[in-house]
C-alpha cells in the first residue's frame, strides 16, 4: 500500500467541481458553480503577443501587468506599488498560498457562517480549526491566527458588508494580531451604489492579504488573479508561489494587460454590469412569483448569487437528486456552512450564468419540486 501524507487521509473532491460534470449533460439547467455568463466574454486576440511571453518570467508577475493592476488597487485605498503585488494562477492559488503560509493542524481560522467552499476545502487540507468570525469581533475565546473574509457580494450569500462592519473587522484583526485575508473577486460586478471599500484598506499596522481575480470580469479559463500583502507576508508568499508553479502563465497576463489598457475597458465592464443586473432583476422577480411561500432571500446588490433559505424543516441536499433528474442543478448550502450540524435548508443559485428564459424554466421546475415535496411531507 502506498504511504501517503496524513493530510490527504480525509481529502474529498469539491462538491461543486463534481457537479460541474453533471452540468455538462446536454439540456441541464445549471444554477450551480460560479461560472460567468458565456455572453460576458469578448474575443481575445493573441496573434500580436510578443515572443517573450513564451519565455520563463518573474515569479511576481510581469512588470507591465503588475503596474496596471497596482494602479487600479491604488484607486481603492490599497498599495499602488507594483513591487507589492504577486500575480496568481487564479485567486484560488492565493488561498492555497495563504494556507501554506499560516495554517497548520489546529490553527484557529476565522470564517463567516457561510463561506466559499473551495476555501474551506483548502483550509481543511492544512488542518485548520474553524471559529466563527463573530467570536473574533466579540473578542471571545483565543483569537484566530487568520480571518478569511469575502465581504463584497459574498460567495455564497451575495451579502455586502456595511462600512461599520468593515471597520470593525479590520480593527478586530489588528487588535488580536490576526492576519486579515480578504478575497474580493466580485467587486467590479456592482449593480447599485454600495460600500465596497476593501477591509484591508482600513489596516494601517497589521498583517493582511488582499486578493482579486479576472475570472469573473474577463474569463476564468485564463486562470489569472493577483494579491497584495503587508510587507511582513509578501516575500514569503512570493517564495511559496515559486515553489508552487514558478510563475503565472505569461500569455494570460499579456492578454489581460491589453484589456486593461484598451480604450473601451470601462465600457466593457459596464456592459457586463448591465447584463448581470438584468439577470439579477429577472431572477428576483421570478423568485417573488414562484418562491414567496417557499423560501426567504435577499436580492444581492452585486456578484452572482442568490442564497435561499427554504421555509420549514427542509433538507435542501435531499432535493438535489430529484432536481437533477428533472434537469436542474443547484448547490446545497450545507457545503458552505462550516458550523452547521445536521441538514440545512439553504441553497445557492447562480443567477448570472443562464439566460432569463432558462432561469424561468429552471426556477419553475425547482419550485414545483419543493411544493410536491412539501405535499408529500404533509400527507
Ligand atoms: C470567493 C471566491 N474566491 C476565489 C475564487 C476562485 O477564483 P479564481 O481562482 O478563478 O480566480 C472564487 C471562484 O468562484 C470565489 O468565488
Length of the chain: 379
Q: What pLDDT was estimated at residue 308?
A: 98
Q: What pLDDT was estimated at residue 49?
A: 96
Cβ-contact 226, 65 below 8 angstroms: no
Ligand 1 pocket test: which of 91, 210, 223, 245 has the largest number of ligand atoms within 8 Å of its C-beta? 91
Q: How far is the CA of 311 from the centre of ligand 1 (A)?
A: 29
Cell numbers 437533477 label which residue? 324
Rounded Cα–Cα distance for residues 48 and 53 (Å): 11
Question: According to DSSP H, which parts of 63-202 are helical?
Answer: 63-74, 91-102, 117-125, 133-138, 163-175
Q: What pLDDT was estimated at residue 21?
A: 78
DSSP result, 151-179? -SS-TTT-----HHHHHHHHHHHHHTT-E
Q: How far is the CA of 45 from the centre of ligand 1 (A)?
A: 24
Q: Which residues form the pocket of ligand 1, taking CB atoms under 6 Å from any ligand atom?
A: 34, 90-92, 116, 150, 155, 183, 185, 213, 215, 220, 225
For 233-262, what is each residue's pLDDT tens digit? 999 999 999 999 999 999 999 999 999 999
Rounded Cα–Cα distance for residues 109 and 123 (Å): 8
Question: Can you list the positions of beta strands (E) in 129-285?
Answer: 129-132, 146-149, 179-183, 208-213, 225-229
Ligand 1 pocket test: which of 213, 222, 352 has the largest number of ligand atoms within 8 Å of its C-beta? 213
The whole-angstrom distance between residue 221's C-alpha and the CA centroid of its chain comes to 15
Q: Give the residues of the chain that fall short of pLDDT 70.
A: 16
Fold of 56-261: 3.40.640
For 7-30, what is each residue's pLDDT tens digit? 888 888 777 677 777 778 889 999
| Residues ≥6 apart with Cβ < 8 Å to 289 | none
Q: What pLDDT was estimated at residue 13?
A: 79
Q: How far is the CA of 94 from the centre of ligand 1 (A)?
A: 10
For 77-125, what is each residue's pLDDT tens digit? 999 999 999 999 999 999 999 999 999 999 999 999 999 999 999 999 9
Q: How far is the CA of 375 from the centre of ligand 1 (A)?
A: 38
Least Cα distance to 187 among 210, 170, 167 occurs for 210
Q: What pLDDT was estimated at residue 379?
A: 82
Q: How far is the CA of 86 from the centre of ligand 1 (A)?
A: 16
Top CATH class of 12-34+266-378 equals alpha beta
The domain locations on the chain are 12-34+266-378, 56-261
Amino acid at each position: 500500500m502506498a504511504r501517503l501524507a496524513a493530510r490527504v487521509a480525509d481529502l474529498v473532491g469539491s462538491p461543486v467541481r463534481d457537479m460541474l460534470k453533471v452540468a455538462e449533460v446536454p439540456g441541464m439547467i445549471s444554477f450551480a458553480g460560479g461560472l460567468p455568463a458565456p455572453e460576458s466574454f469578448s474575443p481575445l486576440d493573441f496573434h500580436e503577443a510578443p515572443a517573450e511571453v513564451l519565455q520563463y518570467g518573474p515569479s511576481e508577475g510581469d512588470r507591465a501587468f503588475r503596474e496596471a493592476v497596482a494602479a487600479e488597487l491604488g484607486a481603492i485605498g490599497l498599495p499602488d506599488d507594483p513591487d507589492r503585488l504577486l500575480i496568481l494562477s487564479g485567486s484560488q492559488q492565493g488561498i492555497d498560498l495563504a494556507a501554506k503560509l499560516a495554517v497548520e493542524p489546529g490553527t484557529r481560522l476565522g470564517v463567516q457562517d457561510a463561506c466559499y467552499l473551495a476555501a474551506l476545502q483548502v483550509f481543511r487540507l492544512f488542518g485548520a480549526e474553524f471559529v466563527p468570525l463573530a467570536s473574533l469581533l466579540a473578542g471571545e475565546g483565543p483569537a484566530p491566527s487568520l480571518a478569511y473574509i469575502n465581504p463584497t457580494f459574498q460567495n455564497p450569500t451575495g451579502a455586502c458588508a456595511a462600512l461599520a462592519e468593515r471597520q470593525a473587522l479590520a480593527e478586530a484583526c489588528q487588535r488580536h494580531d490576526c492576519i486579515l485575508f480578504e478575497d474580493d473577486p466580485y467587486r467590479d460586478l456592482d449593480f447599485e451604489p454600495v460600500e465596497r471599500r476593501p477591509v484591508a484598506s482600513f489596516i494601517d499596522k497589521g498583517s493582511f492579504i488582499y486578493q482579486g481575480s479576472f475570472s469573473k470580469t474577463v474569463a476564468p479559463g485564463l486562470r489569472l488573479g493577483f494579491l497584495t500583502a503587508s510587507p511582513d507576508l509578501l516575500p514569503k508568499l512570493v517564495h511559496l508561489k515559486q515553489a508552487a508553479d514558478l510563475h503565472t502563465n505569461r500569455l494570460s497576463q499579456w492578454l489581460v494587460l491589453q484589456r486593461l489598457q484598451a480604450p473601451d475597458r470601462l465600457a466593457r465592464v459596464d456592459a457586463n454590469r448591465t447584463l448581470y443586473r438584468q439577470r439579477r432583476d429577472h431572477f428576483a422577480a421570478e423568485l417573488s412569483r414562484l418562491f414567496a411561500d417557499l423560501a426567504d432571500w435577499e436580492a444581492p446588490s452585486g456578484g452572482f448569487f442568490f442564497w435561499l433559505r427554504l421555509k420549514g424543516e427542509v433538507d435542501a441536499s435531499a432535493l438535489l437528486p430529484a432536481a437533477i433528474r428533472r434537469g436542474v442543478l443547484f448547490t446545497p448550502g450545507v457545503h458552505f456552512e462550516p458550523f452547521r450540524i445536521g441538514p440545512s435548508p439553504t441553497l445557492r443559485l447562480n443567477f448570472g450564468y443562464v439566460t432569463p428564459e432558462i432561469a424561468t424554466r429552471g426556477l419553475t421546475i425547482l419550485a414545483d419540486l419543493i411544493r410536491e415535496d412539501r405535499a408529500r411531507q404533509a400527507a
